[in-house]
Amino acid sequence: MSGPRDLSPRDAWKRYIDRRRTELTDGSADSYHYRLKLFGAWCEERGIETVSELNGWLLDEFRAYRAGEGIAPTTLHNEMETLRGLVEYLENIGAVEDGLAEKVDVPRVSEDDQSRETKLTTDDALELIQFHRSNDETYGSLFHAFLEVAWHTGARLGALRGLDLRDFNSDVGYVEFVHRPETDTPLKNKRKGERMVKLLPEVVDVLQEYIANDRWSNHDDHGRQPLFTSTRGRPGRNTVRVWSYRATMPCVHGPCPHGHDPPDCEFRSHSHASKCPSSRAPHHIRTGSITWHRDRGIPKEVTAERVNASQRVIDRHYDTATKLEEMELRRGPHLDKLSLN
């Protein structure tokens, strides 16, 4: 009869995530899944059949392998921290030797590395938005509407996916983010994440055009009408990511900066959009949006409320303005106040 020590690495990490699903958001569970899937694949390539074979040397070998892939320090830190959580779980169920989790080397990350984040820059975002607004063929398209809302609200992927048609008020001009876990659209911060976010008239106009001409009139599995729809109803999280990648490709409005011919570029396809060096995920749009809000002089407390994040978290993880940007865009306008005249 098999026991915990006979678990394969693949079965072990799947079992671990299943045990933690009640305490993890969908987004966090997806992140854990991806990180531990990499570890499981590495074990299989090394011929490691059961978790009982794991030891300090192998765990250090995996760390060296991932570091050699050239990943960011923060990424390596997160992957090894998640792996240590898995090994701690395996210790608790008697699948590996006691104390093995202590041998998982989680590298320290400086605050600078923690806050250094790829983002959709303001210049790139505004160029894309202005292109769509002046282009009759793409104005009000799905990608245009998605980019406008994502950029102007700074919302998370799950919040954008969870918007219903009823959550958009064109008369007053806002979208409302609502926590609806019972019908598969929870917000990260649950009820505390619920909020109404005011939209500019130009963004309202884009959404109205999208709803009238480019939105699929579909319901989801719970009878709700999503604001952003796919041919099957409410899009999955990965579909929303692909929309984001495709909406932020620079070749949408100009020549490819990487020397590719857009009509023949494989990155333009649904399955390869994430591979474009210049495309950005929803989290990168959020990061760029928060920096843009701050650069435009929006008070921290207002930005925090719009994007549903604490001021401390914004300062540390999202607001990635450089020192020069802070001087020119934020402090510069106050310089006249120091004049002696």
User: How do residues 156-190 score in pLDDT, each as one tens digit?
Assistant: 999 999 999 999 999 999 999 999 999 999 998 89
When pLDDT is averaged across residues 92-105 and rounded to a whole number, the result is: 92
Instruction: Band the pLDDT of 266: cuts 50, 70, 90.
Output: confident
Q: Which pLDDT value is given to residue 271?
A: 72
Using DSSP, state whether 185 is helix, strand or coil.
strand
Query: Which pLDDT does position 84 carry in this prediction?
Result: 93
Domains and CATH numbers, the chain: 4-114 (1.10.150.130), 122-292 (1.10.443.10)
- pLDDT over 50 (residue 337): no
Whether 311 has a pLDDT exceeding 70, the answer reads yes
DSSP H or E run through 198: strand 195-198
**Percentage of the chain lying above the pLDDT 90 cut:** 58
**218 neighbors 231 (Cβ within 8 angstroms):** yes
Give the pLDDT confidence of 122-149 residue by residue, as tens digits: 999 999 999 999 999 999 999 999 999 9
Please list, in sequence order, all residues whose beta carbon lies within 8 angstroms of the beta carbon of residue 198, skipping any fewer than 6 positions away: 173, 174
pTM of this prediction? 0.65
Helix or strand holding residue 203 (H, E): helix 201-213
- Residue 308 pLDDT greater than 80, yes or no: yes
| Residue entry with tokens 């409410």 | 234
Rounded-to-integer distance, Cα 312 and Cα 276, Å = 32
Residue 217: CB atoms within 10 A of its CB come to 8
Mean pLDDT of 298-312: 89
Lowest mean pLDDT among 134-148, 233-247, 291-305, 325-339: 325-339
Q: What is the mean pLDDT of the chain?
A: 86
Contact call for residues 249 and 276 (beta carbons, < 8 A) = yes
DSSP one-letter string for 39-84: HHHHHHHTT--SGGG--HHHHHHHHHHHHHTT--HHHHHHHHHHHH
Residues 84-97 have a mean pLDDT of: 92
Q: In this predicted structure, what is the pLDDT of residue 321?
A: 54
As a whole number of angstroms, the distance between CA 67 and CA 49 comes to: 24
pLDDT confidence of residue 74:
79
- Residues 6 or more apart whose Cβ sits within 8 Å of residue 282: 150, 156, 157, 160, 240, 241, 244
pLDDT score of 28 more than 80: no
Give me the residue label for tokens 């994007």: 307
Is the pLDDT at 269 greater than 80? The verdict is: no
Instruction: Report the pLDDT value the prediction gives residue 163, as an integer from 0 to 100.
Output: 98
> What band does 47 get if pLDDT is binned at 50, 70 and 90?
very high
Neighbours of 102 (CB within 10 A): 12
Interval 211-220: pLDDT, tens: 999 999 999 9
pLDDT at 329: 52
Q: pLDDT tens-digit profile of 100-127? A: 999 999 888 765 444 445 688 899 999 9
